[in-house]
């Protein structure tokens, strides 16, 4: 145990999984929640490897081009462990796909948001030395995504606030976030962005709006349609 570094080495976490160091490379598309497993299987996407809670799939393209897709757990703490594992096995670029609650009056359920800035409201970031109020996410990956998705309906760039799982948004919090220029609330973005900076890898986040809170009114819709929309956005980026 280190006296001055609270972060667990991923090799300790994976030592009993028989997972090789640096067996992968390049870009990995990452989805939160095991609900995507059935969807990927239904599309005939090949399963490559599973370890701990992580499942990795491979999409083959003409010319022997491959795209890797990972399924990890949601919530800042569990997602952080799985993200560290994906970095450990060699991936260096990550596009995350998840859900967010919009607090912006102009957004609708199913809209896609590319995150430019994540405000920190979770407890993971401080252990990686991030004491800031927010973290910026504009990088080469986000520029590529804008180029691929800017023609889609209901797609725009936005700012998010990352909270811990199990904590609800109060009316006061929503009002204060709106005043800060926050558009939506999620449970992973700022934590994983902090880890990406700490580990010197690249990360981008695309959120599909699953529910909306405006003027103390809450609305939501079926998750199945949202999963399909996120998967289609990934395929558009890969095209």
The C-alpha atoms of residue 152 and residue 112 are separated, in whole angstroms, by 9
* CB neighbours of residue 224 within 10 Å: 11
199, 105 contact by CB (below 8 A): no
**Predicted pLDDT at 118:** 96
**Predicted pLDDT at 166:** 66
pLDDT, tens digit, 9 for 90 and up, residues 206-224: 999 999 988 878 888 777 7
Q: Point out the residues of the chain with pLDDT beneath 50.
A: 1
Q: Which long-range contacts (CB under 8 A, 24 or more apart) does 236-239 make?
A: 236/148, 236/149, 236/152, 237/29, 237/95, 237/144, 237/145, 237/148, 237/149, 238/29, 238/59, 238/61, 238/67, 239/148
Tell me the domains of the chain and their CATH numbers: 19-238 (3.40.50.1580)
202: left (phi over 0), alpha (psi -120 to 50) or beta: beta
**Predicted pLDDT at 1:** 47
Whether the full predicted model's pTM is greater than 0.85, yes or no, is: yes
Q: Phi and psi for 107 in degrees, rounded to 5?
A: -90, 155
* CB neighbours of residue 123 within 10 Å: 11
**Predicted pLDDT at 9:** 75
Site of tokens 């859900």: 99
174, 104 contact by CB (below 8 A): no
pLDDT, tens digit, 9 for 90 and up, residues 44-57: 889 999 988 899 99
**Predicted pLDDT at 4:** 66
**Predicted pLDDT at 174:** 85
**Predicted pLDDT at 165:** 67
Max Cα-Cα span within the chain: 54
């Amino acid at each position: 145990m280190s006296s001055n570094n609270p972060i667990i080495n991923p090799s300790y976490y994976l030592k009993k999984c028989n997972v090789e160091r640096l067996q992968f490379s390049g870009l990995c598309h990452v989805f939160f929640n095991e609900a995507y497993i059935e969807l990927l299987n239904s599309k005939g996407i090949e399963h490559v490897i599973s370890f701990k809670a992580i499942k990795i799939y491979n999409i083959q393209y003409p010319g022997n081009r491959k795209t890797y897709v990972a399924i990890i757990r949601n919530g800042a703490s569990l997602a952080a462990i799985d993200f560290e594992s994906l970095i450990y096995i060699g991936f260096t670029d990550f596009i995350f796909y998840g859900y967010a609650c919009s607090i912006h009056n102009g957004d609708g359920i199913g809209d896609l948001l590319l995150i430019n800035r994540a405000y920190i409201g979770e407890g993971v970031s401080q252990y990686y030395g991030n004491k800031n109020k927010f973290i910026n996410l504009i990088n080469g990956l986000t520029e590529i995504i804008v180029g691929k998705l800017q023609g889609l309906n209901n797609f725009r760039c936005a700012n998010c606030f990352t909270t811990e799982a199990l904590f609800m948004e109060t009316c006061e919090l929503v009002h204060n976030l709106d005043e800060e220029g926050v558009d939506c609330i999620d449970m992973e973005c700022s934590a994983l962005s902090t880890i990406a900076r700490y580990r010197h890898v690249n990360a981008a986040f695309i959120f599909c709006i699953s529910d909306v809170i405006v003027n103390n009114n809450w609305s939501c819709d079926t998750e199945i349609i949202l999963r399909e929309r996120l998967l289609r956005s990934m395929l558009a980026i890969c095209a």
